Amino acid sequence: MTDLSGKTALITGSARGIGRAIALRYASRGANVVVNYAGNKDAAMATAADVERLGGRAITVQANVAVVADIHRLFNEAAARFGEIDIAVANAGVELIGIDFVDITEEQFDRLFTINTKGTFFTLQTAARRVADNGRILYVGSTTTAVPVAREGLYGSSKIAPRYAVEVLAQELADRGVTVNTILPTAIEGAGVFTEFDPDHPVRQFVSRPGRIGRRMGTVEDVADAAEYFASDLAAWVSGQTLLVTGGSFQ
């Protein structure tokens, strides 16, 4: 079992969904957790309470990753409470799918690129400056950056730039022993646009096709498994890599 005792993990967008699952997984392995949220304080407090129930220590920090000053404050508050930051997970983002490329508006473009691209870029940059030597940096992206999907052009485009940044940072931080990796989840039940949706949603037919283990959607626990691996000693010499969490499918 992974031992994260004494380590501190900062996870953006960790009040719910994938971020929450990673926060709870790290807490169950002994880590202190910085729970970040943009607006849902109640959900963040509930996550922090669950972290402490699992034996970890937690703080909640409201910060909007679209605002660079908020990102800096997030890391400052984490360091003030726990000292060194050992693990940083750039998870916060927004989804907007089901829109033809020709119908994308400037307002939609600005929103997704401000949060998913700019916000993640500067989260990674701040993590590169602040994470302790031999630490871990993770980016939670999307399989739409690996396999183009019709009507998801805006979302996939906004998520692809940080993948490049991860591979650059992996090289630039190698001498410090800091690993930088990407996780690309498929459609995940209980996360993003799939937090609450009709059981007859077309995505269920999509994921039930042959070629996917269990012919099911992914779960937040599937993603937390990958995040645990990358945070562990087993991945100390794995950096600049991209791991698809798809059950064997390419999407």
- Would you please indicate which residues are annotated as catalytic (active-site) residues? 142, 155, 159
Residue 245 and residue 186: Cα distance in Å, rounded?
6
Closest by CA to 130, choosing from 122, 139, 119, 141, is 122
Rounded CA gap, 139 and 151, in Å? 23
- Residue identified by tokens 């992974």 is 2
Q: How many helices (H) and strands (E) does the chain have?
A: 8, 9
Closest listed residue to residue 232, CA positions, set 224, 240, 244: 224
Alpha helices (runs of H) in the chain, residue ranges in sequence order:
17-28, 41-53, 68-82, 106-112, 120-130, 153-172, 202-207, 220-231
Cα(85)–Cα(201) distance, integer angstroms: 40
Q: CA–CA distance from 54 to each of 4, 161, 177, 228 (Å)?
A: 13, 35, 29, 16
Buried b (16+ CB within 10 A) or exposed e, 33-67: bbbbbbeeeebbebbbebbeebebebbbbbbbbbe
Q: If you search the block for the tokens 């645990």, which residue do you land on?
A: 228
